[in-house]
Amino acid sequence: MTRLLAAALALLALTACAPPAPTASAGKLVVAGYGGSYQQAFEQAVLPEFEKTCGCQVTYIAGSSTDTVAKLKAQKDAPQIDVALIDDGPQAQAAEAGLLAALDPAAVTRLAKVEKVARLPGDVGVGFAMTATGLAYNSKWYADNGLPAPRKLSDLADPKLKGKVVLPSISNTYGVGALMLAAREGDGTVESGFAGVKKVAANAFTFDTTADVSNYFLQGQAVASVWGGSRVETLADKNFPIKFAYPEEGAIPLLATANVVAKAPHADLAQKFVNALLEPAIQQKLAAEGYDGPTVTDATLDAALAQRVVGPEQAAGMTPLDWKDVNGNRAAWTDRWTKEVEQ
């Protein structure tokens, strides 16, 4: 979900820990996190300076959140990873399985500055970047066709949108978000969620499994979807007329979390690394480069940028998913979705 560019990562290297004595060695820190541009920027801009500053060696292992959790499970008895950067859904699974350690408030002193929505149960991990799952729409197409901006999921069931909607598959987090938005708009039950999603699915021309629907919008195939706010803003930077709408029933927070692995080989350094991610300077750069909203209360943004990320007001209006419940039912919901929604 989160894309760290070189400028943000360089700051991380400077703030992660204090310089050691010339002969000191902090060992070898292993961080597992997102791949792609995130990994490239990390390896080019952060690791050399981080190693120099901390007197340590750093190995970065790239993979999706589910891949990282699978590695943690396989290494449970002899962990080889110190820090895991994963989305909040898989994070809940890892925490329940005992794969993650509680953060030490004496080391992660920035915890007191973290927004409530980004604090995790028992402080086992913490959200260090935040976006929202809501409604994305082509504002020019909507205006040209006399449609008001969508304000709830059921607005995507408008007959004028027939064949113009791309829905995320339940195999990715946005698909779960779509189901939960429909449930919230109904009576709060999964039954009403499926009923609502099926109405919107009648307008869908496809169900995306990649969590990146950019090309569908750019090619004119899609004019509306359930998507993330940061992804919408990234596409808008290409001068594309796309906007993000917070649903009336409440957007769903989507967190990138930083976690110290249970029995991590270098737990002390891992705790300092997590604390560094919560520094205002890092949070501000995350917002500027990837449109990820700050999760700490003392990060300040300029007015124009603040309008493009999840801010304190939006965060206060969002209700996190009960990931324990979601993960416990995910397999059954996926089977039902396949049979009833993507038919």
Per domain, the residue ranges of the chain are 6-130+253-316, 131-252+321-340
Residues in CB range of 294: below 8 A, 6 or more apart: 130, 280, 283, 284, 286, 287, 301, 309
Residues in CB range of 142: below 8 A, 6 or more apart: 148, 149, 223
d(CA 83, CA 126): 12
% pLDDT > 90, the chain: 66
pLDDT at 315 exceeding the cut of 50: yes
What is residue 42's predicted lDDT score, i.e. its pLDDT?
Answer: 62
If you average pLDDT over residues 79-90, what whole number do you get?
94
Considering the chain, what is the average pLDDT of its residues? Answer: 88
- Worst-scoring range by mean pLDDT, 49-53, 88-92, 150-154, 167-171? 49-53
d(CA 313, CA 66): 31
Residue 279 confidence class, pLDDT cut points 50, 70, 90: confident
- In this structure, the chain runs to a length of 343
Q: Which one is predicted more confidently, 125 or 5?
A: 125
What is residue 97's predicted lDDT score, i.e. its pLDDT?
Answer: 96
pLDDT at 102 exceeding the cut of 80: yes
Residues in CB range of 182: below 8 A, 6 or more apart: 153, 154, 192, 193, 194, 195, 196, 197, 200
Q: Which one is predicted more confidently, 243 or 43?
A: 243
What is residue 226's predicted lDDT score, i.e. its pLDDT?
Answer: 97
DSSP string spanning 20-71? PPTT---EEEEEEE--THHHHHIIIIIHHHHHHHHTEEEEEEE--HHHHHHH
pLDDT at 1 exceeding the cut of 80: no
What is residue 320's predicted lDDT score, i.e. its pLDDT?
Answer: 86
Residue 253 confidence class, pLDDT cut points 50, 70, 90: very high
Q: In the structure encoding, which two tokens stand for residue 298, read together? A: 């003392």
CA 91 to chain centre: 11
Q: What DSSP character marks residue 212? A: -
Helices (H) and strands (E) in the chain, counts: 15, 10
Residue 32 confidence class, pLDDT cut points 50, 70, 90: very high
pLDDT at 18 exceeding the cut of 70: no
Residues in CB range of 79: below 8 A, 6 or more apart: 72, 261, 262, 263, 264, 265
Whole-model pTM: value is 0.81
Q: Which one is predicted more confidently, 109 or 28?
A: 109
Q: Which one is predicted more confidently, 52 or 340?
A: 340
pLDDT at 13 exceeding the cut of 60: no
What is residue 288's predicted lDDT score, i.e. its pLDDT?
Answer: 84
Decide the pairing of beta strands 83-87 and 27-33.
parallel
Q: Which one is predicted more confidently, 320 or 144?
A: 144
Residues in CB range of 49: below 8 A, 6 or more apart: 10, 13, 14
If you average pLDDT over residues 297-307, what whole number do you get?
94
pLDDT at 72 exceeding the cut of 80: yes
pLDDT at 313 exceeding the cut of 90: no
Asked whether this chain's domains 6-130+253-316 and 131-252+321-340 adopt the same fold, the reply is yes
The backbone region for 252, taken as left when phi is positive above 0, alpha when psi lies in -120 to 50, beta otherwise, is beta
d(CA 195, CA 184): 12
pLDDT at 31 exceeding the cut of 50: yes
pLDDT at 206 exceeding the cut of 60: yes
Residues in CB range of 302: below 8 A, 6 or more apart: none
pLDDT at 303 exceeding the cut of 70: yes
If you average pLDDT over residues 294-321, what whole number do you get?
90
| H helix runs in the chain, sequence order | 6-15, 37-41, 47-54, 65-74, 88-96, 139-144, 173-185, 190-201, 214-218, 229-236, 267-277, 280-290, 303-306, 312-316, 323-340
Q: How many CA atoms lie less than 13 Å away from 227 in the CB half-sphere? A: 32
Residue 7 confidence class, pLDDT cut points 50, 70, 90: very low
Q: What are phi and psi of 108, to 5 degrees?
A: -95, 70
Residue 38 confidence class, pLDDT cut points 50, 70, 90: low
pLDDT at 37 exceeding the cut of 80: no
pLDDT at 114 exceeding the cut of 70: yes
Q: What DSSP character marks residue 19? A: P
Which is nearest to 258 in space by CA: 26, 49, 88, 60? 88
Residues in CB range of 33: below 8 A, 6 or more apart: 39, 42, 60, 61, 62, 63, 68, 83, 84, 85, 86
What is residue 297's predicted lDDT score, i.e. its pLDDT?
Answer: 92
If you average pLDDT over residues 200-212, what whole number do you get?
92
pLDDT at 41 exceeding the cut of 70: no
Check: CATH 3.40.190.10 for 131-252+321-340? Answer: yes
Query: What CATH class does 6-130+253-316 carry?
Result: alpha beta
pLDDT at 45 exceeding the cut of 60: no
